[in-house]
Amino acid sequence: MKTIFKGTKVLSYKGSKRNQKSIFFTLFSIFFTLYSFSQEQDSTKVNQLDNVLVSAVRVTTKTPVSFSNMDKKEIKYRNLGQDIPILMNYLPSVVTTSDAGNGMGYTGIRVRGSDATRVNVTINGIPYNDAESQGTFWVNMPDFASSVESLQLQRGVGTSTNGSGAFGASLNMLTDNYATKASGEISSSYGSFNSNKNTVKFSTGLLNDHFELAGRLSTIKSDGYVDRASSDLKSYFLQGTYVGRTTLIKALVFGGTQKTYQSWNGIDAETLNKDRRYNSAGAYTDEAGNDRFYDNETDNYNQDHYQLHWSESFSDKWSTNLAFHYTKGKGYYENYKEDADMADYGLNDVGAITTTDLVRQKWLDNDFYGTTFSVKYKEEKLDVMLGGGWNKYEGDHFGKVIWARYASQSELGDHYYDDFSTKTDGNIFAKANYQIFDKLSFYGDLQYRNVRYKANSWETGLVDDTFNFFNPKAGLNFEIDQKNTLYFSYARANREPNRTDYEGGNVKPEKLNDFELGWRFNSEKFQLTTNLYYMGYKDQLILTGTLDDVGNPIRSNTDKSYRLGFEADATIKLSDKFILRPNFTLSSNKNVDLDVEDQNYGTTDIAYSPSVIAGNIIVYSPIQDLHISLLQKYVGEQYMNNIELPSAKLADYFVNDLNVSFEIKPKSIFKSIMITGLVNNILDKKYVSNGYMWDIYPYYYPQAGINFLAGLTLKF
């Protein structure tokens, strides 16, 4: 929930809209009643129906888009409590970071140098990015990886999807498919920094060949690598599925609650050399002159998601998908403020006293709801999809003083600020694949998007902006032979500013032209994908590397900028026992004629955009159910601002992890016993993955040295 106060999350809506939960359950019961007369299950139809949702958000090698997939099998080997971005760390062009230093709590991801606000994230096609800040907060969905069937990361603009426009990548996640047979699972892990995860899963299997109920409960706790950067996370997932001859209905309820001690301040260069684990959050001096830390300098947030999906297959050619969703979020972060100006908190002076120590809470209370839909037509040479969505966000931001040394006229429960905002986002799209010749296919994709954002606060002022975006995409896919494929695509994207951008004033929407040229080679023992991209921006909102007075990253428009790069990703089967999976990205990321405060700096590197990113996974399987993996990641040097200040340079780093998994398949009681182990940073590299600038002074987020996690999973 760092968003709202740190400029990331957005808020709630009032009154009657709170009955959305009951509406969802009513719709769910109606759909089940309408289809209770369906005939016996047809497995072929069911598989087709389940693919309706997949095809609405996913691409294949027939589509001229650069992408990577991860499935449940790959996820399970390292799913020991770390967040989804950390699990994705070894994908091409990906850089991840962790505030607490060990992959739990607040984590972040960048793709091709683009931060999380430019990565469009969907869950079953439903937008997950925060509507106002446009960021993603994985800490609000702890252990969600345990309920993910697969995920796909599309680099660049990608295809049309719901939610805010993708300016660096699109990440779509699909939750667990239904199971035909009953099952259960218990999983526990423990590791460094008192980190532990406990998960329980179940599935009834298909009852009467039509109904399945599945669920998960999880807890994650960790002290964190950074001092006091603790996490106390809980989550749940419940899914009901109805399978008919031509119908597939899924109702999902999932969410989580988190309490994390704040660790987003970072540390300066001197402290980095003396005490890498130091955390300044909550530090203050008491009345006796003693240095102390406030013990509840925490971030607290609860988020619940409701989704209803209805897929229908009318014939071998026609199918549809309709979804409704509602997300409720509410929480706050709490700070001890020393010598705060009383006037800033609505407090009257007490005689000559104008400042006071106090404890404040900054709250957000938000609701996000809407619908998505798609219609698909498929024949031998033509695959067409029409779709769209409409979503609305309404929320409150407000602040409370829960304690003050000089309370003045205040009453418990008073608000010292009240802000309200709304955002509506509607889009329609049409996309098609057409086989022109046996070896040549054409891809076309047209999207129209309408956005209206209204806000009132002292930070943003009165905002009432409407944006109309047209986003065309097109490409060609040429199959040279059974092993070689070439593709080329062009995509246009437009994107509105976020809440924090309005604080700076005179903000403009961003525009992007994305060109991708790729080659795919596929044989039994060797698969290779190479991709050359050019992303040309107009008015890109670049990270300046600085923060505002409440810690929000400040962005500003730069007139012209670009990202030019080459990506390569391979899977090499050396033998039945050895597999290599290397990838690398070489790129040039530049601002053109950068102007900052009326000073022209010429062509400079875009902040947080390393020119070299490389990963590698070496897998050794001496026997069938034993997997030993060495995971390697290199991230080149990068600047934390756009004027290439020497002190703003982050050093490069190379990190190695060791992952071991062994699965036993007993003949009774358990279907499977899996033992997993993960040693992170086995060479104990002292490195920094992220930071920011305070004027000319750098602040860093150090990552943990060598540390471990070990887990046991029982399936029955």
Domain count, the chain: 1
Q: Is 685 helix (H, G, I), strand (E, B) or coil?
A: coil
Backbone dihedral region for residue 602 (phi beyond 0: left; psi -120 to 50: alpha; all else: beta):
left
Residue 263 confidence (pLDDT) above 80: yes
Residue whose entry in the numeric block shows the structure tokens 């104008």: 354
Residue whose entry in the numeric block shows the structure tokens 């009383």: 342
CB-CB contact of 166 with 154 (8 Å): yes
Tokens of 312: 């229908």
Burial of 679 (0-12, 13-18, 19+ CB in 10 A): middle
Which pLDDT does position 18 carry in this prediction? 45
CA 646 to chain centre: 31
Give the phi and the psi of residue 76 in degrees, each rounded to 5. Answer: -65, -30
8-state DSSP, 607? T
Q: Given CA atoms 49, 52, 54, 55 in this order, what sign does their dihedral have? A: positive
Query: How far apart are alpha carbons 483 and 284 in whole angstroms?
Result: 64
**Full domain range(s) for residue 45:** 2-715
Question: Which pTM does this prediction carry?
Answer: 0.91
Share of the chain above pLDDT 70, in %: 92
Predicted confidence band at 46 (pLDDT cuts at 50, 70, 90)?
Answer: very low
E strand or H helix that includes residue 22: helix 20-34
Query: How far apart are alpha carbons 527 and 577 in whole angstroms?
Result: 17
For 460-482, how does the pLDDT look when each residue is reduced to its tens digit (9 = 90+)?
Answer: 888 999 999 999 999 999 999 99
Give the phi and the psi of residue 117 in degrees, each rounded to 5. Answer: -70, -15
Which pLDDT does position 33 carry in this prediction? 40
Which residues make beta-bridge pairs with 580? 572, 618
Question: Closest Cα to residue 197, out of 714, 715, 711?
Answer: 711
Burial of 211 (0-12, 13-18, 19+ CB in 10 A): middle
What residues contact residue 699 under an 8 Å CB cut-off, 6+ apart?
265, 266, 267, 268, 691, 692, 693
Across 102-116, 137-151, 385-399, 502-516, least confident range: 502-516
Range 59-69 average pLDDT: 90
Q: Where are the alpha helices (DSSP H) in 466-540?
A: 499-504
Span between the terminal Cα atoms of the chain, in Å: 36
Which pLDDT does position 710 carry in this prediction? 98
Which residues make beta-bridge pairs with 268? 699
Predicted confidence band at 693 (pLDDT cuts at 50, 70, 90)?
Answer: very high
8-state DSSP, 33? H
Which pLDDT does position 19 carry in this prediction? 47
Rg (CA), the chain: 25
For 536-587, how does the pLDDT look when each residue is reduced to its tens digit (9 = 90+)?
Answer: 999 998 888 777 656 677 888 899 999 999 999 999 999 999 999 999 999 9
Question: Closest Cα to residue 53, out of 252, 280, 268?
Answer: 252
CB-CB contact of 201 with 214 (8 Å): yes
What residues contact residue 450 under an 8 Å CB cut-off, 6+ apart?
424, 425, 426, 427, 466, 467, 468, 469
Which pLDDT does position 355 carry in this prediction? 96
CATH of the domain at 261: 2.40.170.20
Q: How many CA atoms lie within 13 A of 497 on its CB side?
A: 27
